[in-house]
Chain A
Amino acid sequence: MIDTLIATIVSGLVLGSLYAMMASGLSVVWTTLGVFNFAHGALMMIGAFVAWTVSEAVGLGLLVGVASGTLVAALIGVLIERLLVRPYYGNRNMLLITVMTTLAAMIILEKGAQMIWGARLKQLPRLVDGEISIFSATISAHEAILVVLAPLILLSIWRFNVRTNTGRSLRAVGQNQRSAALIGIDVPVAFAIAFGLSAALAGLTGALLGSIRFITPSMGAEPLVKAMIVVIFGGLGSLGATAGAAYVIGLIEALLILWLGLYWTPFVLFLMMIVVLIFRPNGIFGGRQ
């Protein structure tokens, strides 16, 4: 009994790390630009495919592959910001329009990936072989890297936001664009940085996930939907709340799988989310706006 519970908690940690990396990217873009990026999952998928191409098809090794996956995703993120988001700044319908343009970007990336890489399942080798035992639960060393890496990445984003001038300028832009511009912050550059950073996170997540799951054009959809649940629980406004919610959701999901089985789990998660929204429209950890 204890063994099952520990195994469940450990697998919840793995899921939570994955969701934290996805959702924090969404949160960075939301707090800076007020845009919800529907293409976030597709950027993750691009990261995985590029990592596979560079490391397997070209043969440059996994680390180079992961790095290029991250980089290419970041570049596409900047491109999406430039072409699909920037034209609508200041538009009073910006929120709705950018939901639709990023949705279109998602379709283009997914179908584009299907045309470039085909429908055959692909998988990356693991960064490190072997398994690690935590108490009585066993996970692969690769998953352990994910579990360790996620908090480190979250911490560095947090430090970047709080301690560096660039990070501070992103927050300033998020709070008040005009005032930020008045004190000499280059607002378009801040937007591009936020989008690039978020997309890089998505790409890195995808490249790491490519060793655990199969790489397919639609692999980003499920993590995107889970990240949506996370941001609804945590509220989109703060990185800390989003990260906390990611781990809570990861653990709840693992426990639900244990108690109810794979089929009912997503249903119960969505139901919980809707109930949360009825009573706490800004999320469980979200403050009042």
Chain B
Amino acid sequence: MKPAARNIVLPLVCLAALLLVPVFAIDSYTRHLFIIAFLYAIIASNWNLSLGHCGVFNFGHLTFFGVGVYTAAILAKTLGVNPWIAILASGATAAAAAFLIAAPVARLKGIYVVLVTFAFGQLVMQLVLSQAQITGGAEGMVRIPYLRLGDYSFLKDYKLGYYYAALFLLVVSTLFLLAVVRSPFGKSLKAVRDAEEYAAARGISISRQRVTVLVLSAIFTGIAGGFYAIYLRVASPDVFGFGTLSLALSMVLIGGTGTVYGPIAAALALTFATEALAGIRGLEEARFILIALAMILVLRIAPGGLLGIIEKLDFRDRKPAAPAVARNGP
């Protein structure tokens, strides 16, 4: 298969298939799984922008998602803002949060980036827990207003509206990521990852690229968070926990860091896999163990992600794949 066919035709075929899914999946549960998978796909592919493409050891990506969740929840429920606007505002607040955390990240190296981004997530979670009168504290917020378009309520038709809205969001986010990655700016990100000193010598500001990439990766993650809150009508501090973090991380790893479509494919596959495992009696907890084992196995045998293996097998006309996992400083 030629690269053009792979880069354009294959994604379009997948998109067409996803557009047709609601025709065959008429029950709201299957559609619900797809919607959640789309949101995870947005989280994972945007995380990959900072982690995989630029090599920023960002372990606070789910914080941007959580900021989005609570922005939409507070705006729509407490302040009575239209849910559509609340979702869009979530992208803005998440980007602002990313800008805040980017200040120390731009100056730090190696393990300290991991620690400070991780701690930032804990900071936001503690803020949410301590401001119980605004955020609902540990219990979270419920009965958040749902989406409407004119007179049409999105609760109708077995989540058909939500399905297409989430898919639309995923498509826009993916186009945005492709545009960023293929732009000169995207190439400079790879330079920062693979040859920091050389990039700096060529006049690329390492700190500025890091700040920019964190803010860009937060926009759609925050919007996905806002959508998540409006769709589930719940906001809970669980989004900041280790569980969500490791699930999203496994999607990035299994899909392949440094690709755009890999984490999206992995998000779809893993959401259905974990959901199927949860249905088997006795595996409700064990499925997280299986995901963790899968992560370890992928790091051991295919550090480029499973998509990396398929690329090596099928598409020999491609250049050797870029270094698999991101690097950050000496």
A221 vs B240: C-alpha distance when bound (angstroms): 13
Closest approach, in angstroms, between the C-beta of A128 and any C-beta of chain B? 34
| Residue pair B123, A271 in contact (C-beta under 8 Å) | yes
Contacting residues, chain A, for B303 (C-beta < 8 A): 93, 97
Q: Does A211 contact B (CB under 8 A)?
A: no
- Of residues 236 to 289 in A, which have CB atoms within 8 Å of B's CB atoms? 236, 263-264, 266-267, 270-271, 273-274, 277-278, 281
A96 vs B303: C-alpha distance when bound (angstroms): 12
| Residue pair B299, A97 in contact (C-beta under 8 Å) | yes
> Are A104 and B293 also in contact (CB < 8 A) when A96-B57, A228-B119, A267-B123 are?
yes
Closest approach, in angstroms, between the C-beta of A233 and any C-beta of chain B? 11
- Of residues 83 to 113 in A, which have CB atoms within 8 Å of B's CB atoms? 84, 87, 92-93, 95-97, 99-101, 103-108, 110-112
Contacting residues, chain A, for B326 (C-beta < 8 A): 93, 96
Q: Does A154 contact B (CB under 8 A)?
A: no
Q: Does B164 contact A (CB under 8 A)?
A: no
A164 vs B179: C-alpha distance when bound (angstroms): 58
| Residue pair B119, A108 in contact (C-beta under 8 Å) | no
> Are A111 and B242 also in contact (CB < 8 A) when A93-B325, A225-B122, A267-B127 are?
no
| Residue pair B289, A281 in contact (C-beta under 8 Å) | no
Judged by DSSP, the binding face of B is helix
Closest approach, in angstroms, between the C-beta of A277 and any C-beta of chain B? 5
| Residue pair A263, B242 in contact (C-beta under 8 Å) | no
| Residue pair A229, B119 in contact (C-beta under 8 Å) | yes
Q: Does B288 contact A (CB under 8 A)?
A: yes
Q: Does A140 contact B (CB under 8 A)?
A: no
| Residue pair A267, B126 in contact (C-beta under 8 Å) | yes
Q: Does A156 contact B (CB under 8 A)?
A: no
| Residue pair B246, A232 in contact (C-beta under 8 Å) | no
Q: Does B108 contact A (CB under 8 A)?
A: yes
| Residue pair A104, B246 in contact (C-beta under 8 Å) | yes
> Are A100 and B299 also in contact (CB < 8 A) when A232-B115, A264-B130 are?
yes
Q: Does A36 contact B (CB under 8 A)?
A: yes
Contacting residues, chain B, for A266 (C-beta < 8 A): 122, 126, 130
Closest approach, in angstroms, between the C-beta of B198 and any C-beta of chain A? 15
| Residue pair A232, B112 in contact (C-beta under 8 Å) | yes
Contacting residues, chain B, for A96 (C-beta < 8 A): 57, 114, 325-328
Q: Does A114 contact B (CB under 8 A)?
A: yes
Contacting residues, chain A, for B324 (C-beta < 8 A): 93
Q: Does B120 contact A (CB under 8 A)?
A: yes
| Residue pair A270, B126 in contact (C-beta under 8 Å) | yes
A271 vs B289: C-alpha distance when bound (angstroms): 33
> Are A103 and B249 also in contact (CB < 8 A) when A111-B286, A278-B107 are?
yes
A277 vs B328: C-alpha distance when bound (angstroms): 17
| Residue pair A100, B295 in contact (C-beta under 8 Å) | yes
> Are A273 and B109 also in contact (CB < 8 A) when A107-B289, A107-B292, A108-B292 are?
no
Q: Does B75 contact A (CB under 8 A)?
A: no
Contacting residues, chain A, for B8 (C-beta < 8 A): none
Q: Does A58 contact B (CB under 8 A)?
A: no
Contacting residues, chain B, for A232 (C-beta < 8 A): 112, 115-116, 119
Contacting residues, chain A, for B114 (C-beta < 8 A): 36, 96, 99
Contacting residues, chain B, for A36 (C-beta < 8 A): 111, 114-115
Contact of B295 among A104, A236, A274, A281 (CB under 8 A): A104
| Residue pair B242, A107 in contact (C-beta under 8 Å) | yes
Lowest 5 A-B CB distances belong to which pairs? A270-B123, A263-B130, A104-B292, A107-B292, A266-B126
Q: What are 28 A-B pairs at a CB distance below 8 A? A: A30-B111, A36-B111, A93-B326, A93-B327, A95-B110, A95-B328, A96-B57, A96-B326, A97-B303, A100-B295, A103-B242, A104-B295, A105-B292, A107-B291, A110-B242, A111-B292, A225-B119, A225-B122, A232-B119, A263-B129, A266-B126, A266-B130, A267-B123, A270-B120, A273-B119, A274-B104, A278-B103, A281-B107
| Interfacial residues, chain A to chain B (CB-CB below 8 A) | 30, 36, 84, 87, 92-93, 95-97, 99-101, 103-108, 110-112, 114-115, 221, 225, 228-229, 231-232, 236, 263-264, 266-267, 270-271, 273-274, 277-278, 281
| Interfacial residues, chain B to chain A (CB-CB below 8 A) | 57, 59, 101, 103-104, 107-112, 114-116, 118-120, 122-123, 126-127, 129-130, 132, 242-243, 245-246, 249, 253, 285-286, 288-289, 291-293, 295-296, 299-300, 303, 323-328
Contacts A107-B242, A274-B119 supplied; 8 other A-B pairs, CB < 8 Å: A104-B246, A104-B296, A107-B246, A115-B286, A228-B119, A232-B116, A232-B119, A278-B104
